[in-house]
Amino acid sequence: MSLNDALRLAQSKDLDLVEAVPHATPPVCRIVNYGKFLYEQSKKESHVRPTGGQMKEIQISAVIDPHDLATKRNHAIRFLCEDMKVRIKLRFRGRQKAHKEIGFQVVNQFIKEVAAFGQADSPPKLLGDRDLNAVISPLPRNKRAKNPNESATPSDSTTPSLPPSSAAPEPTAEPPPPTSSAEDQSGV
């Protein structure tokens, strides 16, 4: 359709002619209400959120079990692989406040275990007398270790397949030796 015909058709319907794909040959246009078109475009753009600014928080304790710490570490690795920052929060309770060095050891060990995926922005800091915080930022994708949560699919071409005849051992021609019975052992 020619440009003049399209403009006449749009004006007859009291709508606007909007170029949708300008680089196509021929250019693609739509007949729409331009105000409504702009409103819909702004709604689409407002719903898109960048994941780079998101932060996840992981709470641990100074007396956390090693298995629980490993689970929290795996969650942190998953978040770092998704390009999210991770805040580690350790809260001291009761008599734990007297031994804050244990909390620092736990947080520093946690940071060392996820070092292949992210780096601490600063050393762990005390906030007040109860909270110990550290923020870990993800490393760039080319410097980061491979995500262990991704399932690796084994390729069949790398493992040699055995022919069906060699898969099971062939039976031998000799019969097995006879077993002794109770009568043979008694000597009767």
Q: Identify whether 187 is part of a domain.
A: no
Query: Does residue 62 sit in the same domain as residue 31?
Result: no
Q: Identify whether 18 is part of a domain.
A: yes
Query: Does residue 9 sit in the same domain as residue 31?
Result: yes
Q: Identify whether 94 is part of a domain.
A: yes
Query: Does residue 98 sit in the same domain as residue 65?
Result: yes
DSSP per residue, the chain: --HHHHHHHHHHTT-EEEEEETTSSSPEEEEE-HHHHHHHHHHHHHT---STT-EEEEEE-TT--HHHHHHHHHHHHHHHHTT-EEEEEEE--GGGGGGHHHHHHHHHHHHHHTTTTEEESS--EEETTTEEEEEEEEPPTTTSPPPTTSPPPPPTTTSPPPPHHHHSPPPPSSPPPPPPPHHHHHT-
- Number of folded domains that form the chain: 2
With 70 as the cut, is the pLDDT of residue 39 above it? yes
Query: Does residue 81 sit in the same domain as residue 22?
Result: no
Confidence of residue 71 (pLDDT cuts 50, 70, 90): very high
| CATH code assigned at 111 | 3.30.110.10
Q: Calculate what percentage of the chain has a pLDDT beyond 90.
A: 38
Query: Does residue 61 sit in the same domain as residue 130?
Result: yes
| CATH code assigned at 39 | 3.10.20.80
Query: Does residue 75 sit in the same domain as residue 122?
Result: yes
Q: Identify whether 165 is part of a domain.
A: no
With 80 as the cut, is the pLDDT of residue 48 above it? no
Query: Does residue 40 sit in the same domain as residue 69?
Result: no
Q: Identify whether 162 is part of a domain.
A: no
Q: Identify whether 143 is part of a domain.
A: no
Domain span at residue 83 reads: 55-138
Confidence of residue 176 (pLDDT cuts 50, 70, 90): low
pLDDT in tens, 81-132: 988 999 999 999 999 989 999 999 999 999 999 999 999 999 999 998 899 9
